[in-house]
Amino acid sequence: MFSYTNDRPYRIEFFGDDVESIRTFDPGTQLSIDRLDHITITPNVQDRSLQEKREPFLSYIGRNAVVWVRDLAFATDRIAKEFEKAEKAFAELSPDI
């Protein structure tokens, strides 16, 4: 998994539905570098094609799927804050990346 806020990609290993490990790795050698407890994956929010093709989350799941949200206002607010965080992180990136 590549994130615009990290120099190295993440390798996420699953055991069934559970995350077994998260590690950064060197793409050239495929060797693991660091083991992590958690990560934040930030999309490229400045990519015009992403802005033009922005689609709601619910469009990606099946029509018969059931989604439970305990506090819709909290979830909506959190999504907006995370998007702002992604925009800020992108703005702080070096133009060399």
Specify the number of domains making up the chain: 2
pLDDT of residue 65: 81
pLDDT of residue 43: 66
Q: Are residues 24 and 69 in the same domain?
A: no
Domain that holds residue 72: 42-97
Q: Are residues 27 and 57 in the same domain?
A: no
Inter-CA distances, 92 with 3, 5, 6, 7, 85, Å: 14, 9, 12, 13, 11
* Whole-angstrom distance, CA of residue 21 vs CA of residue 35: 7
Residue 33's domain is classified under what CATH number?
A: 3.30.2060.10
pLDDT digits (tens, 9 = 90+) for 79-92: 889 888 888 887 77
Q: Are residues 49 and 32 in the same domain?
A: no
pLDDT digits (tens, 9 = 90+) for 16-58: 889 999 999 998 899 999 999 988 776 666 665 555 566 777 7
CB atoms within 10 A of CB 9: 14
* 3-class SS of residue 49: helix
Q: Are residues 53 and 93 in the same domain?
A: yes
CA 75 to chain centre: 16
Inter-CA distances, 13 with 9, 18, 24, 28, Å: 13, 9, 11, 19
Q: What's the pTM value of the predicted model, to 2 decimals?
A: 0.46
What is the radius of gyration, based on Cα positions, of the chain? 16
Q: Are residues 58 and 25 in the same domain?
A: no
Q: Are residues 61 and 29 in the same domain?
A: no
